[in-house]
Amino acid sequence: MHSAIPRPATFLHSGPLRGTVKVPGDKSISHRAIMLSALAVGESRISGLLEGEDVLATAAAMRAMGAKIERTGEGSWTVQGVGVGGLMQPSAALDMGNSGTSTRLLMGLVSSHRISATFIGDASLSKRPMGRVIDPLSLMGAEFNASPGGTLPLMVRGLVPAIPIRYRLPVASAQVKSAVLLAGLNAPGRTEVVEPIPTRDHSERMLRGFGADLSVELASNGVRHIRLMGEAELKPQNIEVPGDPSSAAFPIVAALITPGSEVTVTHVGMNPTRNGIYKMLEAMGANISYSNEREVGGEPVADITARHSILHGIEVPPEVAPSMIDEFPVFFVAASVARGRTTTSGLDELRVKESDRLALMASGLQAIGAVVTETEDGLLIDGSGGEPLEGGATIKSALDHRIAMSFAVAGQHCYKGITVDDVTPIATSFPSFEIMLMMLKGDDNSSVFPDGSANP
Ligand SMILES: O=C(O)C1=C[C@@H](OP(=O)(O)O)[C@@H](O)[C@H](O)C1
Ligand SMILES: C=C(OP(=O)(O)O)C(=O)O
């Protein structure tokens, strides 16, 4: 986990951002690659794995439950799986750090094994709602002992055989969907998740890739029915993890708002359940182009180039939210310097992420001179029309990597720059972020590689 000692950093207005960078591996896919490899029978190899703290927490937990997991090189890992049903009793509490995905997906896995596990996490994770996974996993027979409000620390006792269920998601959440599917892997018979609003489908793609019997039916009303046959035998795989579109959004927005910029991010995952941010930026007039489009490990991938653009405000349809749920903080930064009003709604989920992202983005943007109104479920932003914002404020990152990176990007287009009180949370998803930004600004030296990693 990152240092408990806060590290402030100041991000100043700079000249154009230029260059080609690679962002680290996709966080959602990296978690799932470790988990499913650990449940396969035999050795899987993973390349391009995100070596951020959240994924390392998943790897440590799977090790604690019996999988043999080794790092063989930068982003390259081998995993010796224990087989579905083979997870072992961990001898200590599983420390999930800051990671909601690790917690909720692993709660699913434990639920259908004959083990119990205690989950703990940092101050941010310990406030986040776990009732949304406790509910369906209880129906499958698992027992829970959670802190008040259904939060961490909590204990899960799994049941074998677990009860396969049909579950309609009450909230658009890929984590809840995945928790139920992962529990269903070791339940006898068919587990079905009914998904009224589509969310990221990496679990479905990867489960199939590992040989699980999983089908997806799209009903005429747009509702997805995901059916998984349990007691699956997963076959080991070689997985190449594409770059994270959520991480790529930071250099892309930085380029769009900084006059004279042109930035290319290579090898970025372009799964349609994840690319809402790019679609919405294009709707605002962003000059974004895609090249080298291809498929990698069952996921579409492309190189993305963004050039400085005069953006104009738009109304973001609420149904787009799940496909850009983690990108709203940096999207709000783009909207703050666009021409005209940007309206967002239906974003209640942003209040239960690593921080209350609606409240923190509203107050932080107001503090640097943006015109922002917070509503119950969204923000209304009246952009500066391309003018730099005032800046000069110190922003609290509140254990939220995306808040920290969003204000680092905003600092690009402020007269006085922005100080983020603690940038250490960035290591949860994008350890090379600051080096990448320096390189794009031309402040680098020869010890920085094009992918943003530093020369050791
Ligand atoms: O399944 C996943 O990997 C994720 C799902 C999303 O959370 P929700 O399921 O809570 O929407 C997202 O915000 C998170 O960063 C990763
Ligand atoms: C919400 C996020 O992650 P998690 O839920 O895994 O903590 C995120 O990365 O923005």
Give residue ranges with CB within 6 A of ligand 1: 28, 101, 173-175, 178, 200, 325-326, 349
Nearest CA to ligand 1 atom 8: 173
Residue 1 confidence (pLDDT): 64
Beta strands in 130-213 (DSSP E): 143-147, 151-157, 166-168, 190-195
CA dihedral 433→96→399→269, nearest 10 degrees, is 40
Task: Detail the residues annotated as belonging to a binding site.
Answer: 27-28, 32, 100, 128, 173, 175, 326, 353, 357, 402
The rounded Å distance from CA 99 to ligand 2 centre is 6
Which residue intervals of 40-187 are DSSP H helices? 53-64, 100-111, 131-139, 174-184
* Spatial separation of the C-alpha atoms in residues 59 and 296, rounded to whole Å: 22
Sign of CA dihedral 163, 165, 167, 173: positive
Between 3.40.1190.20, 3.65.10.10, 3.30.300.30, 3.40.640.10, what CATH number should domain 27-231 receive? 3.65.10.10
* Position 387, amino acid: E
- Ligand 1 pocket test target in 31, 205, 207, 325 with most atoms within 8 Å of CB: 325
Give the strand order in the sheet containing 151-157: 94-95, 116-120, 151-157, 143-147
Which CATH superfamily hosts domain 9-25+242-441?
A: Enolpyruvate transferase domain (3.65.10.10)
The protein residue with its alpha carbon nearest to ligand 2, atom 1, reads 353
Rounded-to-integer distance, Cα 45 and Cα 239, Å: 6
Return the SS3 of 312: strand
Candidates 246, 353, 360: which one to mutate for ligand 2, based on the most atoms within 8 Å of Cβ? 353
Q: Which of 84, 69, 78, 80 lies closest to 234, judged by CA?
A: 84
Q: Which atom of ligand 1 is nearest to the CA of 172?
A: 11
Catalytic residue positions? Answer: 326
CATH 3.65.10.10 intervals, the chain: 9-25+242-441, 27-231
**Helices then strands, each counted (H, E), the chain:** 12, 22
In this structure, the number of other CB atoms found within 10 A of the CB of residue 218 comes to: 11
Ligand 2 lining (C-beta closer than 6 Å): 54, 99-101, 326, 353-354, 402, 429
DSSP assignment letter at 241: P
Q: Which residues contact 347 (CB under 8 A, 6 or more apart)?
A: 318, 321, 328, 358, 377, 378, 379
- State the closest ligand 2 atom to the C-alpha of 402, by its place in the atom list counted from 1: 10
Residue 177 CA to ligand 1 center (angstroms) comes to 10
Ligand 2 geometric centre to CA of 259 (Å): 31
ipTM of the shown complex: 0.99
Q: Which atom of ligand 1 is nearest to the CA of 325?
A: 13
Sequential pLDDT tens for the chain (456 residues): 666 799 999 999 989 999 999 999 999 999 999 999 999 999 999 999 999 999 999 999 999 999 999 999 999 999 999 999 999 999 999 999 999 999 999 999 999 999 999 999 999 999 999 999 999 999 999 999 999 999 999 999 999 999 999 999 999 999 999 999 999 999 999 999 999 999 999 999 999 999 999 999 999 999 999 999 999 999 999 999 999 999 999 999 999 999 999 999 999 999 999 999 999 999 999 999 999 999 988 899 999 999 999 999 999 999 999 999 999 999 999 999 999 999 999 999 999 999 999 999 999 999 999 999 999 999 999 999 999 999 999 999 999 999 999 999 999 999 999 999 999 999 999 999 999 999 999 975 433 344 444 433
Residue bearing tokens 């240092």: 3
pLDDT at 36: 98
Which ligand is closest to the CA of 125, given by its number? Answer: 2
- Burial of 222 (C-beta count, 10 Å sphere; 0-12/13-18/19+): exposed
Task: Quote the ligand 1 centre to 224 CA distance (angstroms).
Answer: 18
Angle 383-386-387 from CA coordinates, rounded to 5°? 95
d(CA 119, ligand 1 centre) in Å: 18
307 touches 255 (CB < 8 A): yes
Query: What per-residue confidence (pLDDT) applies to 445?
Result: 41
What letter would DSSP give residue 309? -
User: Of 259, 337, 245, which Cα lies nearest the Cα of 290?
Assistant: 245
Q: Which of 432, 439, 12 is nearest to 247 (CA)?
A: 432
